Structure 1
Amino acid sequence: MFHLKTNIMRTRLTFSLNFWINGCRAENEEAIIYARITVNGKRANISLKRKVPVESWDSS
């Protein structure tokens, strides 16, 4: 009789997506929207090349 031993390796994948504006770099009361993509702790920041009025952005 043969016994098969199987090892199951479980991994936990994480993903998050955050958006923010840099109010310090605002021009004409408008700021560029940025996105941060995080996968398994590795981050990438990108500019969306879109502007929004600073007073319209809800940072909470």
Structure 2
Amino acid sequence: MEAIVRAAAQILVIEEARAYVDAIGPTDLNDPGRLAGHLMAAETLLMRIAEAFTESEPTTT
């Protein structure tokens, strides 16, 4: 069951990244504020993608 939930989370985060890229359109490189915003959003999405695809360590108690 954990594998199914993990796969679903991976699909969702990839779809979120695709939707973001589709929505931003062309980026004006002369607008530093907008460019910085896109870069920060991309960094956040990449971290979420990496987290979704990184194997979590089993917890032992």
Whether TM exceeds 0.5 here: the answer is no
Higher relative CO (Cα under 8 Å, sequence separation at least 6) belongs to: 2
Structure richer in strand, relative to its length = 1
Structure richer in helix, relative to its length = 2
What's the TM-score bracket when you normalise by the shorter of the two chains?
A: under 0.3
